[in-house]
Structure 1
Amino acid sequence: MSMPPETLPRITPETALFLDFDGTLVSLAAQPELVEVPQGLAGTLAELHRRLNGALALVSGRRLSDLDTFLAPLLLPVAGEHGAQRRTADGLMVSAPPADLAQVLQAAEGLVARHPALKLERKNLALSLHYRQAPELEDLCLQVMREALERSQGIELMHGKCVIDLKPEGFSKGTAIAFFMSEAPFAGRVPVFAGDDVTDEAGFEAVQRIGGHAIKVGPGPSLAQHRCASVSQLAAWLQSAVASLPGSGSPASRPGFAA
């Protein structure tokens, strides 16, 4: 197990902890459904959730159902689809108004039909076009999807690691964290957010703006003031937090949550 970097912020009983999934808790895979969840991850998250009195949430571009499947039987507060959908600490589902994805969906389906190495991921309120298996098609994918975006309303394009996301306008990981921070049990705590991609920068900005800490996992430019080299180092940091935090109540036993 990698040792956690000493420069990472300490997780305390006053922390509100927000974690990206892909590239942060799990290593990236050739296809999104092929990621391997490290042994013990769900248990570590469940224990942190308990010791932080419920103030731990996932903030991801994934669908909520995908995250639940990967971490089953654990159910956590979570923001999916870059903030377009959230499940609060009380289990309440909150969604952005649906946007008209017809133009971008048609364009993405056309690209996949012509280039089978591409993968289209349909979500509830968004879609993702993955080109990890065909990186040479990056410029073409961006051009086609941006042209389709010009024919659409209420949609934003986000360009991540070998993926182009189309999602409802005005929602981001930053807005998701801000919503969580206005609600119990996150309100009044010091937010800490760890992520690895350009799509996490809005979350980094959100937590640092209110005096929290942002952690960039892996290489690349970032406004995050903390850096963690790898998924395994971040896992070691989380495990060290479990060892250092005092025991507390068990919010994971609330209806709808299973540890």
Structure 2
Amino acid sequence: MENSDKLIDKAITHSVLHKANTRGHANHGWLESHHTFSFANYHNPDRMNFGALRVLNDDRVNQGMGFGEHPHDNMEIISIPLEGDLEHQDSMGNTTVIKQGDIQVMSAGTGLYHSEYNKNKDQLVKFLQIWVYPNKKNVTPRYDQITLDLNDRHNKLQQILSPNPEDEGVWIHQDAWFHIGKFDNGFSTSYELKKPENGIYAFVLKGDFMIGNIAVNERDGLEIWDTNTIKITANTANAEILLMEVPMQF
């Protein structure tokens, strides 16, 4: 993957663009959340999921506040901190703190309880919480977190999640691959899907991009399916993007 005029610039013919300002929005005072897909009090029958991707929440939690203990089951739950420190506790006995550069995963399986709090009293915590439907039900609940080198996503796509425990990043019970890249202005790269029957959901963390022939801006999301490869070009400096390849049938 490199900046090259030889990269194929294929038009994307099967896609749906979700502009940032069309997401569901909830402000609970201590929590402000934007929902890409239907969640809690936000219900949009046209935005229930994208294949196995069920939830993409963009959360901001005030100083010292958080989510009390609550249950989950039969879902793969991924948290990606963007700013600040998030403290996690669960019924498996884990007490941890995750921050930018960390990736956290829980396989809820037969059921677990957990809580999440802003560790700090002087700054917001911002993070993405993502739910993916598993390909196996009622597995033994599992927790993991890792710290990745942020330099490894400069002008390339750093893998942060896969189905394989031996690969880079965390792993989940699903044929899904997640990557994050942070690019210089004008830098282009391509992403080739691991499985041709999968789709990809692109979510812009910062800046502006062209994905194939489609312009996407900060916090926009783009559903793409029926393609093998996409081309990505950053149109601003320090542009950052999350790519989530997931099964369309599961």
Question: Would you call these one fold, judging by a TM-score over 0.5?
Answer: no
- Return the structure number with greater helix share: 1
Q: TM-score range by the shorter chain?
A: under 0.3
- Return the structure number with greater strand share: 2
The TM-score, its normalising length taken from structure 2, stands at 0.28
